[in-house]
Amino acid sequence: MLDPRVTERRNPRSADIDLASPLEIVDLMTAEDRGVADAVATQREPIARAIALVEGAFRDGHRLFYVGAGTSGRLGVLDASECPPTFGSDPVMVQGIIAGGPAALLRAQEGAEDRPDGARSDLETAGVARGDVVVGIAASGTTPYVRAALESASSVGAKTVILACSPPATALLDLVDVAILPITGPEVVTGSTRLKAGTATKLVLNMLTTGAMVRLGKTYGNLMVDLQATNDKLRDRSERLMMITCGLSREAARQALAAADGRVKVAITMQKLGLSADAARARLAEAGGVIRRVVPDAPPPVE
C-alpha cells in the first residue's frame, strides 16, 4: 500500500544503492539534493509571510518557538541556539522545544513524538502566550507531538506556522496561520528525513530567523553588526567591522568598541554621527534598531 506521506515513499532512483560504490553514492545523493533548493523556492511567499509574523512578534516583545521531534526538533534547537551569537539577541527571543527534552538532542527518545500531552506540557512550561509565534516542524506532516503543540499554541492566541515536507492533513492546514511545504520527495534511504527533508528544513529556518533579524536592523547592509563578541574570533570580527565601516586603525577600532560596551552597531553610529554611546543608543531605538535609518551613508562597497 502506498504511504500517503511523501517522505515515507520509496525512491526508485536509489533502489540499488546497496550495490553502489562510494563515488556512485555521492553522485546519487548529490543529484537528489539538487532539487531541495528548488522545493524551498516554491514556498517563497509563505516563508515571507512567516518572516513578517516573526518580525512583528519580536517588535512587540514576543518570541519565536520552534517545536519538533527527532531531526526536526534538533534543527529547531540548532537554529535557536545560533541566534544570540550571530545577532546579539536575547536567548529567550528564539527557543527550540524538542520532544523528549534536552536528552533527545544527543540520543533518540523513542515514542516522544507520539505523546501529545508532552507537547502541551512543554509549551506550558515554556510559557507560550498570545503574540508569540510557534513554528511546528514535522517532516512527514503527521507528527502527533507537533500537531498537539500547534493546537495548544493556537488555543492561547499564539500565531502558528507548520513546516513540513509532505502535505499535512487539511485539519492541520486550517488550524495554522502559515503553511510552509517544501515537498522534497522520497528520500535516498526510505523514510530518513534527516536527508533532503532535513536540508530543506534547515534552509527554511535560516530564512526565518535571518529574515526577521535583518528586518529588526541586526545588519548594516550585509554586515553582522549586532553580534556578541564572546570569543577571540568574534572580537576580531567586531574590530574588522569597525575598520571597514569607519576607516579606523585596529587600535582605534578597539577603543571605539570599548566606548560602546562592545556593541558594533552603537560604535558605528557613534563614529559616523559624533555621538555619545547613550545618544547613539537612543537614536537607534527611535529608528527601530535599523542603522540605515540613522547613519546617512551605506556600508563601503564590496571590494
**Candidates 32, 55, 113, 187; catalytic one:** 113
Closest Cα to residue 224, out of 54, 85, 80, 59?
85
Contact at 8 Å (CB) between 31 and 208? no
Relative to beta strand 159-163, strand 133-137 is parallel
Contact at 8 Å (CB) between 115 and 109? no
Q: Known catalytic residue: 113? A: yes
Q: How far apart are CA 77 and CA 51, in angstroms?
A: 18
Secondary structure (3-state) at 231:
coil
Secondary structure (3-state) at 192:
coil
Q: Known catalytic residue: 32? A: no
Phi then psi for residue 220, to 5 deg, are: -120, 105
Contact at 8 Å (CB) between 233 and 239? no
Catalytic residues: 82, 113
